[in-house]
Chains A and B, each alone.
Chain A
Amino acid sequence: MKLGEAFAYTANHDLEPAKRTVVFIHGAGLDHSWFGLQSRYFAYHGWNVLGLDLPGHGRSAGPALTSVPAMADWVIKVLDAAKIQRASLVGHSMGTLISLDCAARYPQRVERIALIATASPMKVGEAFLDAAKRNSSDAFDMSTIWGHALQVPLGGNPNPGMWMYGDTQARLERLAPGVLHADLKACNDYAFAGDVKCPVLFILGKRDVMTPPRAAKGLQDKLPGARTVVIDFSGHSLMAEAPDATLDALIDFLQ
């Protein structure tokens, strides 16, 4: 579905005012399809689904946004365009920061937030940022390799016939120059200092090397009422590495 310049995946469903809405917000350099299985589930189980492509990603036009608050403002504008007053947000990595920022600054618009693979602060290494700034393939390698548990290139993909490393690389190679750097810098620069009143769920991968569970500790301390699900065998890309466990955690939290 096109909402102005924005693309939102709805799994072929029209938005219905009577339904609850869940918005999926992807991580750095990725797009809505990173939530493919999970977003389809909710769309076919009575929810309005908006799987967003942030500007400059997937099917959304425009230059990439350069700060997390700007991305959060953009998400709210998309909700306005879709005439959705209130929604639950499911964010992955950079998307968790956007979800947090939305929940803190637009509390009346956000029902619940699920944070999949998060850290606060979400600092990005200098070498990674520099490689992304140069649009070097090294940045794609770092994003791909650190973006999965170490066993992923050798282990089996739950999605038959697919190779997770290859899929991530192909997505990153499709990005316009500068998009990955803009995303990583936005993560690196963001400092969450707000207050979140809505229910919060953390879904963390025990084998995540990019945002390991310990990196979420500061945020968990700030949100004492939040629930946490740690998935033993997954790395950073939980929606692909542990699709069923991630979906089950979301169903339990959002239903």
Chain B
Amino acid sequence: MAGPKYPGFDTLALHAGQSPDPATGSRAVPVYQTTSYVFRDTEHAASLFNMERAGHVYSRISNPTVAVLEERMAALEGGVGAIATASGQAALHLAIATLMDAGGHIVASGSLYGGSHNLLAYTLKRFGIATTFVSPRDLDAWKRAIRPETRLLFSETLGNPGLDVLDVPAVADIAHAAKVPLLVDATFTTPYLMQPFKLRADLVYHSATKFLGGHGIAIGGVLVDSGRFDWDASGKFATLTEAYAGFHNMDFAEESGTRAFLLRARREGLRDFGACMAPMTAFQILQGVETLHLRMPRHVESTRKVVQFLVGHAAVAKVIYPELPDHPDYELCKKLLPKGAGAVFPFEIKGGRPAGKAFIESLRVFSHLANVGDAKSLVIHPATTTHYRMSDEDLKKAGITAGTVRLSIGLEDAQDLIDDLDRALKASQR
């Protein structure tokens, strides 16, 4: 017998988190551009502060417009809830700060966005949190790197910029055997291409600046919790299972086993670190989320056309895209990313650094800038921008070289993109 059904992805992308505004009937999500909310009386104020009633107190902790984005992303990922943050980097920091203290240890993929690599390799180290980087494809390396003080395994779903496809179920199983959660950065895949919770990941975050917004006008992040990791059974997360003097001696897992992580992240992380999302930013990102299910197929379709064009081009030494048979993760990609391997990929131009420079400067439709996931097509040279702090050895570990160029394929006419690339490639070889 067919049971009741959840609403489909497309419906959730448009509706989840918002019913027409009760105050005005507004169908669109209103922008609650306010810092604070009037209490009905002193009793109401006290009960809001003490989590006896639901509602908003101050927009650093929660805001009605931001809450719509949070609930919508939780629905699209299949999580219990979410917290929107000032940026993707803020979401990563919030996750780590919620899970561990000084002395904690992370095992992370070596194929990370440069900003994430900086945070783990240099900045958090100053605060007593160490990270061991491993090849995301080497499952034994993940296991070997785990120590008694390890509190998190972390990777991108598609490595940046080498596009290593993370074997999410396998790495999640390694994490769970060690009684720690797996956090994935799913910025490149979005919940449209992959829902990591269905593959047993525990926490997901996005740079909402990228495909979720899609318009390149707002910086933001969002951290989503599956609610499936059992903090009590693990016994390794004192921040979630022991009394917290900073909030009425609350034991967050006792308050709720499924909400413990988000409770602490909001009640401590947003309250004290303060990297919240602005209401207007949430509104702008919501405009993008409402068409995510329409944009992502087009991004992927055009990417496949561009990839095929580049593979056959005389000026191109190598194209890295997991849907190509020579990619190490070709089979895994078919299994985990049947809707497509995203719209960001690197390739290598023949002629090294001078050819790369000439290529980028000859493009007319592609924009040369440090971002991905825009509706407009973008190009960048990682070795001099996003990964500029990495040594040649670390670049090699991440699967790129000094001649690698990264493309983010937008929503323009695919033939115009191909023509632009063709013209620039020819110019690069002169």
Q: What is A's interface to B at a CB cutoff of 8 Å?
A: 9, 12, 31, 33, 36-38, 40-41, 44, 58-59, 127, 131, 138, 141-142, 145-146, 151, 153-163, 165-167, 169-171, 173-174, 243-244, 247
Contacts and interface: CB of A to CB of B under 8 A. Distances in A.
B121 interface: no
A156 B67 contact: yes
Contact of A157 (B17, B63, B255, B256): B17
Contacts of B81: 161-163, 166-167
B138 to A, nearest CB: 30
Interface residues of B, number: 56
Contact of A37 (B54, B62, B67, B251): B54
Contact of A145 (B6, B18, B226): B6
Interface of B: 1, 3-7, 11-12, 15-19, 47, 50-56, 62-64, 66-68, 70-71, 74-75, 78-84, 226-228, 230, 232, 243, 248-251, 254-259, 262, 266
B262 A162 contact: yes
B94 to A, nearest CB: 13
A160 B62 contact: yes
Contacts of B19: 151, 154-156
B232 A41 contact: no
Given A12-B243, A244-B54, A154 B7 contact: yes
Contacts of B227: 166-167, 169-171
Contact of B3 (A33, A36, A127): A127
Contacts, number: 148
The majority secondary structure among interface residues of chain A is helix
B234 to A, nearest CB: 13
B70 A161 contact: yes
The majority secondary structure among interface residues of chain B is loop
Contact of B80 (A12, A31, A142, A170): A170
Contacts of B67: 156-157, 160-161
A244 B83 CA distance: 23
Given A33-B257, A153-B6, A174-B230, 20 more contacts: A12-B243, A12-B250, A36-B51, A141-B3, A141-B4, A145-B4, A154-B16, A154-B18, A155-B19, A156-B67, A157-B17, A158-B54, A158-B55, A160-B63, A163-B16, A163-B80, A166-B79, A166-B80, A167-B259, A170-B228
A146 B228 CA distance: 21
A243 B53 contact: yes
A166 B6 contact: no
B406 to A, nearest CB: 33
Contacts of B51: 36-37, 40
A161 B62 contact: yes
A44 B250 CA distance: 13
Nearest to A41: B52
Contact of B53 (A141, A154, A247): A247
A13 to B, nearest CB: 10
A156 B7 CA distance: 15
A155 B18 contact: yes
19 contacts: A31-B257, A33-B259, A37-B52, A41-B52, A145-B4, A151-B19, A154-B19, A155-B17, A156-B17, A156-B64, A160-B64, A161-B62, A163-B16, A166-B74, A166-B80, A169-B227, A171-B257, A171-B258, A243-B53
A80 to B, nearest CB: 23
A36 B259 CA distance: 11
B228 A12 contact: no
Nearest to A40: B52
Contacts of B63: 160
Given A146-B4, A154-B11, A167-B227, A160 B56 contact: yes
B5 to A, nearest CB: 8
A174 B16 CA distance: 24
Nearest to A166: B80
B249 A41 contact: no
Contacts of A157: 17, 67, 71
A213 B71 CA distance: 29
Contact of A156 (B4, B18, B256, B266): B18
Given A40-B51, A58-B257, A244-B54, A161 B266 contact: yes
A127 B47 CA distance: 42
A159 B259 CA distance: 11
Contacts of A38: 52
B257 A174 contact: yes
A152 B78 CA distance: 14
Contacts of A41: 47, 52-53
Contacts of A12: 243, 248-251
Top-7 shortest CB links A-B: A170-B227, A161-B70, A163-B74, A160-B62, A155-B19, A162-B81, A41-B52
Which of B7, B16, B70, B266: most chain A Cβ within 10 A?
B16
A117 B70 CA distance: 28
Given A31-B257, A37-B52, A163 B71 contact: yes
A6 B70 CA distance: 35
A174 B229 CA distance: 9
B16 A161 contact: no
